[in-house]
Structure 1
Amino acid sequence: MPKLSNTVEEALNHQINQEMSGAYNYLAMASFFEGQNLSGFAKWMHRQRAEELDHAMRLFRYLIDRGGQIDLAAVEKPRIDYKSVREVFDTALAYEQNNTKLINDLYALALNENDYATQSHLQWFVDEQVEEEKIVQDVLGLLDVAGDNNSALLVLNRQLAEQEDSGGA
């Protein structure tokens, strides 16, 4: 199998950083919810954090398996000054939408470089991003239904706490 091009290797390293940054941001979001005594929302964010770490490690392992060089970059300090549950989930959706764009760009780069192995590997990430955006949108939809009703928010908090690790709201 041919060695990765420098361009693909750099892009994979950038995506590893993006996934690590996502994990760090989800950890910050979880800390916001812990501080608000919303342990169900915190648990949901911790699950997302674990998924982002898994994504980074999948890319890390792939890069190593292809003979690439890992180049870990600094992770930016995450935002912690949220004002509401809704604002946290709006931020999570924006992150996932940006991550989808980055994955799609990386997939297009692999296609352009005729790197079929990387393209095949990235297909899982393309599919995963559909799920990632949907589960955040599902929670946002439930927050819309709850509105300003604190009792409904507490019910949603309990539902999120009871969810299995497979995702979905």
Structure 2
Amino acid sequence: MAKGNEKVIAKLNQALEMEISGVVRYLHYAFMIMGPNRIPIQKWFHDQAQEGYQHATLLGEKITSLGGHPSLNVSKVPETKTHAAIEILQESLVFEEKALSLYYEVLHEIKEDIALEEMIRTMIRTETEHLDEVRKMLVTKNN
């Protein structure tokens, strides 16, 4: 491991574990969505799982580029046994907020690696967009 990268690599590994758990989480959610809005919500969850896979791939490649070893751990995915669409979306909101917070932690550890900084800023933008979408999906009344 390259000297000075330990903190960044540790944070990137946390993000990797989170993204892999997101793949599991969103696939499970896609399987469990039922009802008249199943198709668009299921598609959105499948898209989220695919994006988690893509993010995990980017993170793993960056970890090895920095001289680190990608984690084999997966952040715990709780089984709440609540599978109503609104409850799943609320769980997604909490998960996306944690992801955004973690990416800001990674950003604060980056020193002079502009490529890594831009990659993390892109992930921050993406997570922010996810939060916006989940919040919109959770609106139940017209204003």
User: TM-score band (shorter)?
Assistant: 0.7 to 0.9
Distance change in 2, residues 1:83/1:128 (3 Å): closer
Structure 2: distance between partners of 1:91 and 1:77: 11
Map of 1:134 onto structure 2: 132
Matches within 5 A, 1:71-110: 71-79=71-79, 81-110=81-110
Q: What is the identity, as a one-letter code, of the residue corresponding to 2:42?
A: A
Map of 2:141 onto structure 1: 145
Map of 1:153 onto structure 2: none
Could you state the TM-score of these two structures normalised by the residue count of structure 2?
0.84
Map of 1:24 onto structure 2: 24
Pairwise CA distance, 1:4: 5.5
Map of 2:118 onto structure 1: 120
Map of 1:58 onto structure 2: 58
Give the share of equivalent positions with the same residue, in percent. Answer: 21
Q: Is the 8 A contact 1:13 1:72 kept in 2?
A: no
Matches within 5 A, 1:152-167: none
Largest Rg, 1 or 2: 1
Q: Is the 8 A contact 1:29 1:80 kept in 2?
A: no
Distance change in 2, residues 1:140/1:5 (3 Å): same
Q: What is the identity, as a one-letter code, of the residue corresponding to 1:120?
A: E
More moved, 23-32 vs 58-67: 58-67
Could you state the TM-score of these two structures normalised by the residue count of structure 1?
0.72
Structure 2: distance between partners of 1:67 and 1:122: 18
Map of 2:47 onto structure 1: 47
Structure 1: distance between partners of 2:137 and 2:22: 18
> What is the RMSD of the two structures over their aligned residues, measured on CA atoms?
2.1
1:145 match: secondary structure: coil
Pairwise CA distance, 1:40: 2.8
Unaligned runs of at least 5 residues, structure 2:
none
The count of residues paired between Structure 1 and Structure 2 equals: 139
Pairwise CA distance, 1:131: 0.9
Distance change in 2, residues 1:75/1:95 (3 Å): closer
Q: Is the 8 A contact 2:5 2:66 kept in 1?
A: no
Map of 1:150 onto structure 2: none
Structure 1: distance between partners of 2:51 and 2:88: 18
Q: What is the identity, as a one-letter code, of the residue corresponding to 1:116?
A: D
Structure 2: distance between partners of 1:4 and 1:43: 41
Pairwise CA distance, 1:25: 0.8
